A and B are shown apart, each in its own frame.
Chain A
Amino acid sequence: MNTTKTIETATGPAQPMVLNMGPQHPSTHGVLRVVLELDGEIVLSAKPDIGYLHTGIEKSCESKTYSQCITLTDRIDYLAPLSNNLGFCLAAEKLIGIEVPKRAQYIRVLLTELTRITSHLVWLGTHAIDLGAMTVFLYSFREREEIMKIYEYVSGQRMMTSYFRIGGLALEPPPDWLDRVRRVVDAMPAHIDEYETLLTQNRIWMARTIGVGKLSAEDAIGLGVSGPLLRASGVPYDVRKVFPYSSYDEFDFEVKTQTGGDCYARYQVRVAEMRESLKIIKQAMEKIEPTGPFRAEVQGIIPPSREEMKTSIEGLIYHFKIFTEGFAPPQGEVYQAIESPRGELGVFMASDGSAKPYRVHFRAPSFVNLQSLPALCVGRLIADVVACIGTTDIVLGEVDR
């Protein structure tokens, strides 16, 4: 594009214009401010300005016991609370050295894959609405609601689930919950086809996304980009495959990649990922036993069952101690990464041997991915900035923590 042409105005040659996009702007998906320097409609530079949602979650964690921190993790990435729960619990379990029962691991896998689908549905709907395709939003939120009902049925909450606890799950899922999951999973492929008929060959959609926001594999790795953004640039890095956790190595699924590196490629990767998630969920439904332990049994760390607490003196003591004092993992530091819907979600946890974490740090994929925004939109039209912000799929709660 020609960026060198100067226009003469009454007061001399035209100057670049600085435009504040956000923090209140519908296509910034929250409170993101981007300072754009414009030559006409062409973006000369873009500087994301973040921190409007900074709530100090990492600092708060240091004054809470390990179990109390789980409710805070829901609020980091509020579109994928179960993924955050999982990342935090896995890190704590690694620190303590607990093995979670297989049944609980499979339930975790099933629910986090449902989370991936809901998160991608929100992304798809809002991204399409940004680019002028209104209908997809109404469809994708319809399906999302059905999955949210499953969360509510299982954990009691639609969004702030706090369902995964250190050592397993908060409570036994209701007996017929898998029937509800099956109904959603069986209906889902047709719905994804429906979105695709609206978008994949849509000429306006293709014109707005193909070739927009290009990111090469080398740049993506250098910028630390992960998740669907990285895979759309042709790098098959998926934590579930490369460093399996929670028994992901027992599931058969593919890591979907594209080589385009543009907004369209990212759209294709995310849609393909939803289908892969459905595959994983179906396998998990086969694997989950109808009865069995839903959390590990470790005296003094995992709360004893209600039955045991009511009938044995030891159980009562442990119950009381765990909920008043917490438990103290050994000294040391761990880093546990999981594949959240947005990329590599890492939890760094340092223990000083007391009942409260000495330091918790969340490697938030949105935070790192947002850093690539200038690389995506410099040199392109201002309308493409909207497409680029949408395609990075940021959640500002996670960016700012």
Chain B
Amino acid sequence: MESQEIARNPAVQRLQAWDKQVVAEVIEFRGETTVVLPANRLVGVCEFLASDPSLRFTFLGDLTTVDRFPLEPRFELNYQLLSIEKVLRLRLRVKLAGADPSIQTVTGVWPTANWHERETFDLFGIRFHGHPDLRRILMPEDWEGYPLRKDYPVEGFR
């Protein structure tokens, strides 16, 4: 079942054909495909997936971060890609270490990433290099700490 699913998602095949090294791991769960990438290859892969004529992942649906504290690498960034033309979904995942987490921005590929990355910066403290306007978005500008991190208490902070 699981290996068939992988074979069925053409995005994984195309990605592996494009560069064998780039796919660190493929996870199949409940019919959803997650491709784990090395963090430094993210932007290149995104550009390829958005422009490849057989995939056309032109729509970034969502960016979700999961904090695996106290495990390392601590942060998982999940990019939900959508190809409206080819009716495909794909999740890209990169892992970041807990000390000074930062990664290149994908706003150049999808302008919608702007606010998603600001939200991630605001709530998890992950910095995005090359982001045009990296400010807090939901919390007050002078807020200390990053509320969605696991070492941040649910209540009783102030």
Contacts and interface: CB of A to CB of B under 8 A. Distances in A.
Contacts of B48: none
A224 B112 contact: yes
B30 A224 contact: no
Contacts of B29: 332-334
Given A334-B32, A348-B78, A50 B64 contact: no
B64 A348 contact: yes
Contacts of B24: none
Nearest to A359: B66
Chain A interface size range: 35 or more
Contact of A359 (B67, B91, B112, B138): B67
A63 interface: yes
Contact of A222 (B58, B87, B140): B58
A221 B61 contact: no
A60 interface: yes
Contacts of B116: 368
Chain B interface size range: 20 to 34
A213 interface: no
B10 interface: no
Contacts, number: 92
A95 B78 CA distance: 17
Interface in A214-229: 221-225
Task: Point out which of B32, B62, B137, B147 has the most chain A C-beta atoms below 10 A from its C-beta.
Answer: B62
A51 B138 contact: yes
B137 A371 contact: no
Main secondary structure of the interface of A (DSSP, over half): mixed
A333 B137 CA distance: 26
A328 to B, nearest CB: 16
Contact of B62 (A50, A348, A400, A401): A348
A149 to B, nearest CB: 35
A346 B147 contact: no
B134 interface: no
A325 to B, nearest CB: 19
Contacts of A63: 154
A235 to B, nearest CB: 7
Nearest to A337: B61
A54 B137 CA distance: 10
22 contacts: A51-B138, A51-B139, A54-B138, A59-B147, A62-B154, A97-B30, A223-B111, A242-B87, A243-B87, A332-B30, A333-B66, A333-B91, A334-B32, A335-B62, A335-B91, A344-B61, A348-B62, A359-B66, A361-B62, A367-B119, A371-B112, A401-B138
Given A51-B136, A350-B66, 14 more contacts: A50-B137, A51-B137, A51-B139, A54-B138, A221-B84, A243-B89, A334-B29, A334-B32, A335-B61, A335-B64, A344-B61, A346-B62, A363-B61, A401-B138
Interface of B: 29-30, 32, 34, 58-62, 64, 66-67, 78, 80, 84, 87, 89, 91, 110-112, 114-116, 119, 123, 136-140, 147-148, 154
